[in-house]
Amino acid sequence: MPPRRPTEHATPTNPIPGMPRNALQRIKLGVSFAEYDQTLRDPFAFVTTPAAIAAGELQSQKYFFVGRRGTGKTATSLHVADLDHHAWPVQLGLMFPNRDQQDPTEYQDHHKRPFRLLLTALRRALLDEILTQWNRCCGAAPSSMPAILLREMDRAREMEFDERLFSYIDALLRTLAEGNESQWRTQMNLPKRMSEEMAATRWSNHHSHTLLLDRLDESWDGSAVDVAYLTALMHAALMINTSGLGVRSLVFLRENVFERVRSSDPEFARLETSVVGMDWTAEQLEEMIERRLNIPFHSRIALGGPTWNAFFESPAEARRLIFDYCQYRPRDVLIYCDFAIENAVSHRHERIMIEDVLAARRRFSDSRLRDLGDEYSENYPQIAVVLSRFYGLGREFTLRGIEDLLGLLIADSEVQSACASWIFTLTPEQFVRLLYGIGFVGLTVRGETRYRSSGPRDTTPPPVSAASRILIHPSYWDALDLQQRVIIQLDSSRPYERVGLVADLPEAMTPEQYRERLSELLEDLGLIEPGRADSEEYANLVGDVIKLCFPNVLTNVEPKVRNLSGVVIRDWVASNRADTGFWEIVRQRYGAVQVVWECKNTVELTAEDFQQVAYYMTEAIGRFALITHRGELTNRYIEHLRRISSEFHGVALVLGDKDLKVFLRQARNGKVKEGHLQDIYDRIVRLVS
């Protein structure tokens, strides 16, 4: 048989062109949180986005930068501060003082005094901050400066921003309580007078200045009072920006925090046109990783594709797997790629292989699920408890399935205790919209699945109806061990971890029957004697192992399959339907849409056995096969496996009795873990490379 044409998978150990050997070991992509990421101090690492352009452009009229966690808000503010000596961060660690003593209903009407009090105090505190920075940047104040500004400068030098804000709010509250109308009007008019005097002075006219208000959510607890304070801050910042002082106040907000303001502020139309989203495209995400891959080296590969193509073994497939999976968020892409590089280095790969990318999924998925629960805990307290109840269910739901699940949640004592403030008010449709709004699910309508975008866009999902399919985002599948099935309805009598499982057991078995059959196979494996006499019995047992241990990924299992000429006979062939984990790796790398299992009831394998397996490998079904026998993998088999790798560009795994026992025991305990197969695969690939 003539050698097959090499593919892009054929040279897994090729070094990266233009880079030294072991280049991956020298790469440190950076820290996922921008405030700790020293990589960002290198100007080469920064990626220009529309939001970054708006933040750095002095004439821009965009003042509010909104995005989900990890979309680059802090990175953008740090970049602006590094580039512009007249831009400085404002620390608002105690931005919302006295929250426990306030009645939130008093701040709902923006025309009444409580909200106007907040607005005035915040505006004055921001103006004081501007005066302080003018003094630092522009030297001593002119002798002609009005007395009102000199007094404010003295006060500003003595106190930090939060202390000033406290004192102004307390003073206004006391005046309001005393009913001193004259004093109240004087204090309320003070910021306006300050702004007019500052605009008239020529002290600062040589420079444009920028206030950077970031990390506001560090002291945010999601209360109605916090929402009122934040709303007042945004309006105060807008007033500063439009006052003609040559100063910009840029506010960086997390999306879930911003949504609370948008939904409660009757004057939000004033802010709407000044909002910009922290959206990223695939091209910008790729550039971010390319820049960081190049940083350790003096000789750098070109951006815009060449760097990505050089470092990733299957560039197009890696793009699809990473960017879609990470929902186009730069922090998540950075974390995912970092995990993939760690995998590549640990497996001694010179490039980032497709299996390194796929193997990073489980670790990333666990991280993403924890982060999602934390991100929206202020909006929906203890929502992580609700998300955890999806564990072991299906990846896709009908509206009826969601309705049944919501009924189980409402009856769950832990959910009742942790989520009582919001869970009981939801209809099934509202529950779907909530899950859509946080990015946990997408909606499939007429074959097209839509997920929530990452910017401050309209959060309204497509219409939710009985015909809708609700698909959990793939980035949560591994963390929740979701099954590859649609949940049409749920049995309320079963605990969560068993819901949806019984229907997926092969041959309509009950859980008890399933476990009993697995125990029987374990016993039978020890009773079958090696040799030709029991070959058929051994092959049947292997077929049962395939059907019972891999029912959701290997389907349509058929025995003794012949090709059209009747020459090639395979003991078992199974369709590979996996879209995660080890089986997806072999499908992507070796085109293994069908998986061949060759059964040999012998302790030793021969050269003919390996030759037979090699001929099974075709472009149509894939270049991956498994040989099960009664012995163990030994060094005598390595040359045969190496020939399969070099001539057929495929791989064959050699399994023994102990491996089959591992699969059977894991299935009996509730789940076959693919780590055992992955370890066998890694060992063989290293030996033959």
> Given a cut of 70, is residue 208 above it in pLDDT?
yes
Residue-level pLDDT at 84: 83
Residue-level pLDDT at 47: 92
Token pair, residue 239, equals 């007033």
> Given a cut of 90, is residue 524 above it in pLDDT?
yes
What are the C-alpha distances in Å from 304 to residues 47, 283, 285, 356, 546?
A: 12, 8, 11, 22, 44
Number of domains in the chain: 4
**Spatial contact of 96 and 229, defined as CB atoms under 8 Å apart:** yes
How far is it, in rounded angstroms, from Cα 498 to Cα 483?
12
| Residue ranges making up the domain that contains 542 | 511-688
Which residue, of 327, 359, 391, is where some domain finishes? 359
Same domain, 472 and 529: no
Residue-level pLDDT at 12: 44
What are the C-alpha distances in Å from 281 to residues 205, 357, 460?
A: 38, 20, 21
> 299-303, 403-407, 553-557 — which is least confidently predicted?
553-557
Same domain, 259 and 389: no
Which residue, of 334, 359, 384, is where some domain finishes? 359
When comparing pLDDT for 501 and 682, which is higher?
682
- Helix H or strand E segment including 331: helix 330-346
Same domain, 582 and 438: no
Q: Is residue 129 part of a domain?
A: yes
**Spatial contact of 16 and 23, defined as CB atoms under 8 Å apart:** yes
Same domain, 545 and 495: no
Residue-level pLDDT at 312: 94
Counting residues of the chain whose pLDDT is more than 70, the rounded percentage is 87
**Spatial contact of 380 and 256, defined as CB atoms under 8 Å apart:** no
Residue-level pLDDT at 316: 92
Q: How many CB atoms lie within 10 A of CB 586?
A: 26
> 54-63, 215-224, 293-302, 607-616 — which is least confidently predicted?
215-224
Q: Is residue 486 part of a domain?
A: yes
Mean pLDDT (whole number) for 421-434: 93
> Given a cut of 80, is residue 211 above it in pLDDT?
yes
- Would you place residue 159 in the very low, low, confident or very high pLDDT band (cuts 50, 70, 90)? confident
When comparing pLDDT for 669 and 654, which is higher?
654
Same domain, 333 and 268: no
Residue-level pLDDT at 383: 92
Same domain, 590 and 448: no
Residue-level pLDDT at 462: 79
Residue-level pLDDT at 498: 42
Counting residues of the chain whose pLDDT is more than 90, the rounded percentage is 36
Task: Please enumerate in sequence order all residues whose Cβ is within 8 A of that of 215, keeping only pairs 6 or more positions apart, or say none.
Answer: 35, 74, 252
- Would you place residue 654 in the very low, low, confident or very high pLDDT band (cuts 50, 70, 90)? very high
Token pair, residue 332, equals 């998540």
Same domain, 427 and 295: no
> 494-498, 506-510, 526-530 — which is least confidently predicted?
494-498
Which residue, of 218, 246, 277, is where some domain finishes? 277
Mean pLDDT (whole number) for 621-645: 91
Same domain, 36 and 173: no
Q: What's the start-to-end Cα distance of the chain, in Å? A: 22
> 176-190, 330-344, 557-571, 626-640 — which is least confidently predicted?
557-571
**Spatial contact of 66 and 455, defined as CB atoms under 8 Å apart:** yes
What are the pLDDT digits (tens) for 114-156? 889 989 999 999 999 888 888 777 766 667 778 888 888 888 7
Residue type, 377: S
Residue-level pLDDT at 319: 93
Q: Is residue 285 part of a domain?
A: yes
Backbone angles phi, psi at 462, to 5 degrees: -60, 160
Q: What is the CATH number of the domain that holds 633?
A: 3.40.1350
When comparing pLDDT for 621 and 675, which is higher?
621
Residue-level pLDDT at 5: 40
* 448 beta partners: 445
When comparing pLDDT for 216 and 660, which is higher?
660
Q: Hey, which of 489-498, 583-592, 668-677 has the most confident mean pLDDT?
A: 583-592
Task: Please enumerate in sequence order all residues whose Cβ is within 8 A of that of 164, keeping only pairs 6 or more positions apart, or say none.
Answer: 124, 125, 128, 155, 156
> Given a cut of 90, is residue 37 above it in pLDDT?
no
Same domain, 410 and 373: yes
Q: Which residue's entry shows tokens 């529309």? A: 50
Same domain, 142 and 181: yes
Alpha helices in 412-495 (DSSP H): 413-418, 428-437, 477-480
Same domain, 253 and 304: no
Closest to 397 measured CA to CA, from 487, 268, 522: 487
How far is it, in rounded angstroms, from Cα 79 to Cα 57?
12
Q: Is residue 82 part of a domain?
A: yes
> Given a cut of 90, is residue 62 above it in pLDDT?
yes
Mean pLDDT (whole number) for 585-603: 89
What are the pLDDT digits (tens) for 91-109? 776 555 555 566 667 777 7
Looking at 242-281, which runs of residues are DSSP E strands? 247-254, 275-277
Is the pTM of the predicted complex or chain greater than 0.75?
A: no
> Given a cut of 50, is residue 2 above it in pLDDT?
no
Residue-level pLDDT at 395: 93
> Given a cut of 70, is residue 204 above it in pLDDT?
no
- Would you place residue 447 in the very low, low, confident or very high pLDDT band (cuts 50, 70, 90)? confident
Residue-level pLDDT at 620: 85
Residue type, 235: H
Alpha helices in 159-204 (DSSP H): 161-178, 181-200
Mean pLDDT (whole number) for 82-94: 79
**Spatial contact of 611 and 588, defined as CB atoms under 8 Å apart:** no
> Given a cut of 50, is residue 246 above it in pLDDT?
yes
Mean pLDDT (whole number) for 314-327: 90
Same domain, 409 and 535: no
The alpha carbons of the chain give a radius of gyration, in whole angstroms, of 32
Token pair, residue 183, equals 């004093």
Backbone angles phi, psi at 278, to 5 degrees: -90, 55
Mean pLDDT (whole number) for 603-613: 91
Q: Is residue 18 part of a domain?
A: no
Residue-level pLDDT at 9: 43
Residue-level pLDDT at 229: 86
